[in-house]
Amino acid sequence: SETNIVRYMKKLENKDVSLVHSMIPLGSCTMKLNATAEMEPISWREFANIHPFVPMDQARGYEELLKELDRDLCEITGYDSICFQPNSGAQGEFTGLAAIKAYHKSIGQHQRSVCLIPTLCTRHTNPASAQMCGMKVVPVKVDKSGSVDVVDLQRLAHKYSDNLSAIMLTYPSTNGVFEEDIRETCDMIHDLGGQVYVDGANMNAQVGLCRPGDYGSDVSHLNLHKTFCIPHGGAGGPGMGPNWGEGSTWYPSLPTHPVVPPHGSILPHAKPTGCVPNSSYILSLPVYICVLISAYLSLSLMGPKGLKEASEIAILNANYMAQRLKGHYDVSIINGFVAHEFIIDTRGFEATSGVEAVDIAKRLQDYGFHAPTMSWPVTNTLMIEPTESEDKDELDRFCDAL
């Protein structure tokens, strides 16, 4: 009966913890509100039932939505072009690196294959994406503050200058630090012929405040399932990771359909890549395009002022928690502040009492909380990201539990 099936589904729901129940403070995951108003239209017949091979003149609504989302995201990031093919952050990384590789190939510099990646302050998928793209990964040291070691970066960049393809940066860093030398780093890589890839994982600390295209990035992906409210697990991978390119020279390197020209009004400069792709061909169809509706509605409902305020509150919430916890935990705070997330070091407890990060994570479940990100990017630490969705009462409740 309907009664039994509803009770069964509710029973299963009650076995889990979600944002409906409490804050999920997973660092670098940006577990923010997925508003019902942004989610409901996905199920509307007009969006959900469109055939993937429908003629373009019967999909004008989707076309207009994509054009407006393209325009808004380019404005937010400071980039000139966009590609909606990647269906996850990791796919976005691979696609962006493939575009960089294709760009170097297009200007006759096939030898450029070295990708510099700072250790412990970038996304964990970066090295795997570069390796899969056929690049040689060269790790760069980080300093005590969790920022890129500029001296080591200069040494390696000049050592591999002839073969330097790209550097992969995360801004702010996974350690919750705004890299003070980000512009100088980008300029140095460009001077040596390389390209700058900025991972968009931490865009929730940038929207309305700064733009990757302005401080020197050439290509990025952006996790729409994090910053712009698509639910995690909503698009094949963990979310959707569109790519951008900076400047008109990037247009030919962005992935497109291998045979069919893209519709001119969406990506006017793109051309078919041929049966042997020029850069990368990720999907035959934008099969999860319906989830872009959530991102589109998030942008539309928030507006420029709301998006900027969300970034400010996300940073404020993280700093409030860091200050509350610093008397009880070893909190990584640089110059008195953190970005939108921060790390608490629990290695001291292990040395004195045998308590590890996993013990704290399990104990938090007794208080109804999902654990923070554990032992990444540093072993036996907890990384906390409250997002802008949580109010002070919930932040205090979590801090009290910790």
Q: What pLDDT does 123 receive?
A: 77
Q: How far lies 216's CA from each of 78, 182, 191, 257, in Å?
A: 10, 8, 12, 29
Same domain for 67 and 7: no
Same domain for 347 and 244: no
Predicted confidence (pLDDT) per residue in 154-176, tens digit: 999 999 999 999 999 999 998 88
Residue type, 106: S
Q: What pLDDT does 172 receive?
A: 93
pLDDT at position 120 over 50: yes
Same domain for 119 and 203: yes
Q: How many folded domains does the chain comprise? A: 2
Of 287 and 23, the structure prediction assigns the larger pLDDT to: 23
DSSP SS3 for 290: helix
Whole-number Å distance between alpha carbons of 134 and 118: 18
pLDDT at position 250 over 90: no
Q: What pLDDT does 144 receive?
A: 83
Average pLDDT over every residue of 195-199:
94
Average pLDDT, the chain: 85
Angle formed at CA 136 by CA 130 and CA 137, multiple of 5 degrees: 65
Q: What pLDDT does 86 receive?
A: 80
Whole-number Å distance between alpha carbons of 255 and 11: 44
**Spatial CA neighbour of 164 closest among 141, 191, 193:** 193
pLDDT at position 213 over 70: yes
How many of the other CB atoms lie within 10 Å of CB of 400?
9
Burial of 91 (0-12, 13-18, 19+ CB in 10 A): buried
Q: What pLDDT does 267 receive?
A: 46
Q: What pLDDT does 292 receive?
A: 85
Residues 6+ apart with CB under 8 A from 187: 216
Of 52 and 44, the structure prediction assigns the larger pLDDT to: 44
Same domain for 97 and 25: no
Q: What share of the chain is helix, strand, coil (3-state, %, to 5)?
A: 40, 10, 45
Predicted confidence (pLDDT) per residue in 378-395, tens digit: 889 999 999 999 999 999
Same domain for 352 and 211: no
Q: What pLDDT does 273 receive?
A: 43
Average pLDDT over every residue of 272-301:
62
Q: Which of 297, 318, 339 is the endpoint of a domain? A: 297
DSSP SS3 for 218: coil
Same domain for 287 and 367: no
Average pLDDT over every residue of 31-50:
86
Q: What pLDDT does 125 receive?
A: 87
Q: What pLDDT does 255 receive?
A: 64
Q: What pLDDT does 126 receive?
A: 92
Q: Are 327 and 393 in contact (CB under 8 A)?
A: no
Average pLDDT over every residue of 219-244:
71
Of 256 and 310, the structure prediction assigns the larger pLDDT to: 310
Q: Which residue has the tokens 């949580």?
A: 390
Same domain for 19 and 90: no
Confidence of residue 21 (pLDDT cuts 50, 70, 90): confident
Q: Which of 262, 297, 332 is the endpoint of a domain? A: 297
Same domain for 172 and 116: yes
Looking at 93-97, 127-131, 167-171, 362-366, which range is the least confident one?
A: 93-97
Whole-number Å distance between alpha carbons of 202 and 127: 17
Average pLDDT over every residue of 346-357:
92
The range of the structural domain enclosing residue 390 comes to 2-34+304-401
Same domain for 238 and 337: no
Q: Are 41 and 230 in contact (CB under 8 A)?
A: no
Predicted confidence (pLDDT) per residue in 257-277, tens digit: 544 455 444 444 555 444 333
Of 292 and 356, the structure prediction assigns the larger pLDDT to: 356
CATH number of the domain where residue 117 is located: 3.40.640.10
Q: How far lies 230's CA from each of 297, 384, 388, in Å?
A: 10, 20, 15
Same domain for 111 and 150: yes
pLDDT at position 92 over 60: yes
Confidence of residue 285 (pLDDT cuts 50, 70, 90): very low
Q: Do the strands 164-170 and 114-118 form a parallel or antiparallel pair, or are they unpaired?
A: parallel
Same domain for 315 and 196: no
Q: What pLDDT does 277 receive?
A: 37
Residue 198: its H or E element: strand 195-199
Q: Which of 297, 318, 353 is the endpoint of a domain? A: 297
Average pLDDT over every residue of 218-224:
88
pLDDT at position 90 over 50: yes
b/e map 164-184, b = 16+ CB within 10 Å: bbbbbbbbbbbbbbbbeebee
- The tokens for 99 are 């575009």
Looking at 32-46, 186-200, 206-220, which range is the least confident one?
A: 32-46
Q: What pLDDT does 83 receive?
A: 80
CATH number of the domain where residue 319 is located: 3.90.1150.10
Q: What pLDDT does 286 receive?
A: 47
Same domain for 135 and 94: yes
pLDDT at position 225 over 70: yes
